[in-house]
């Protein structure tokens, strides 16, 4: 295993095909400036329905989505998120114009119940959430959210995923979300404002080289 070459081949995938996974991933980047322009009726539900085909642990299906797709609801979200002062100095005002916000939630109780069942109880994961080294409800929510981003891009939308940090509890209260549900973050979606592109500080960071992030067979040099 030591010293294997890292080789990639463009010929393995049809990267040039429009809307292929490769092309869509290449086009994906966080958008922080949106047009004040609604999505076609039914589009977001259709995309979420497709996105939820991603795998879930034990087929627990414990991922749910809060969709805020009306102006007043989106405004409520930002009002609860920021004080007026923070809003007025916010670096990405164009982010607040996005017409749709989707908050994916993991539902731990669905995983606990599922892992109590006969075929899974050998794992002891049906005991309580503390037994879970990896909280699969958030893993599954992240899978679905990534799929939703790619589907959105395929439909000429752009997206930005951001964390909720200490806003989570206030948001849960405002939108009557059950206390035990865990938010992954918020996916902001809409049509990009191509005349007012804003780049976040994080986006200026270079992508790490493949050779640094892939370890063929073992870490080199050995730890």
Ligand X SMILES: Cc1cc2nc3c(=O)[nH]c(=O)nc-3n(C[C@H](O)[C@H](O)[C@H](O)COP(=O)(O)O)c2cc1C
Interacting residues with ligand X (CB under 6 A): 29-30, 161-163, 185, 200, 202-203
Q: How far is the CB of 151 from ligand X (least distance, A)?
A: 16
Question: Could you please report the per-residue DSSP string of 22-67?
Answer: HHHHHH--B---B-S-PPPTTHHHHHHHHHTTS--GGG---EEEEE
User: Which of 134, 133, 114, 115 minimizes the C-alpha distance to 124?
Assistant: 115
Q: Tell me whether residue 123 or residue 194 sits nearer to ligand X (CB atom).
A: 194
Q: How far apart are CA 48 and CA 189, in angstroms?
A: 12
- Give exposure, 97-115, as e/b (b: 16+ Cβ within 10 Å): bbbbbbbbbbbbebbbebb
Q: How far is the CB of 134 from ligand X (least distance, A)?
A: 15
Q: How far is the CB of 199 from ligand X (least distance, A)?
A: 8
C-alpha dihedral over 174, 180, 185, 186, to 10 degrees? Answer: -40
Q: How far is the CB of 125 from ligand X (least distance, A)?
A: 24
Task: Tell me the residue nearest to ligand X as measured from the CB.
Answer: 202
Q: Tell me whether residue 185 or residue 190 sits nearer to ligand X (CB atom).
A: 185
Q: Give backbone dihedrals phi and psi of 68, rounded to 5 degrees, phi first.
A: -110, 100
Q: How far is the CB of 203 from ligand X (least distance, A)?
A: 5
Q: How far is the CB of 200 from ligand X (least distance, A)?
A: 4
- Residue 208: CA count within 13 A, CB half-sphere: 5
Q: Tell me whether residue 130 or residue 206 sits nearer to ligand X (CB atom).
A: 206
Q: Tell me whether residue 44 or residue 188 sits nearer to ligand X (CB atom).
A: 188
End-to-end CA distance of the chain: 15
Q: Tell me whether residue 35 or residue 164 sits nearer to ligand X (CB atom).
A: 164
- Residue 119: CA count within 13 A, CB half-sphere: 5
């Amino acid at each position: 295993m030591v010293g294997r070459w890292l080789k990639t081949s463009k010929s393995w995938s049809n990267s040039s095909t429009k809307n292929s996974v490769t092309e869509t991933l290449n086009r994906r980047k966080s958008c922080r400036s949106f047009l004040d322009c609604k999505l076609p009726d039914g589009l977001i539900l259709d995309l979420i329905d497709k996105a939820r085909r991603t795998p879930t642990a034990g087929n627990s299906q414990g991922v749910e989505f809060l969709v805020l797709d009306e102006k007043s609801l989106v405004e409520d979200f930002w009002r609860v998120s920021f004080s007026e002062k923070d809003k007025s100095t916010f670096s990405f005002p164009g982010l607040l114009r996005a017409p749709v916000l989707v908050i994916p939630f993991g539902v731990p109780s669905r995983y606990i119940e599922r892992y109590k069942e006969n075929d899974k109880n050998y794992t002891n994961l049906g005991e309580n959430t503390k037994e879970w080294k990896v909280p699969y409800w958030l893993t599954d929510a992240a899978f679905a959210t990534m799929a939703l981003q790619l589907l959105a891009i395929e439909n000429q939308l752009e997206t930005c995923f951001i964390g909720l940090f200490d806003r989570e509890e206030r948001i849960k209260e405002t939108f009557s979300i059950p206390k035990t549900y865990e938010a992954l973050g918020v996916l902001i979606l809409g049509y990009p404002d191509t005349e007012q592109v804003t780049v976040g500080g994080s986006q200026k960071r270079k992508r790490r080289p493949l050779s640094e992030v892939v370890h063929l067979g073992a870490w080199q040099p050995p730890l």
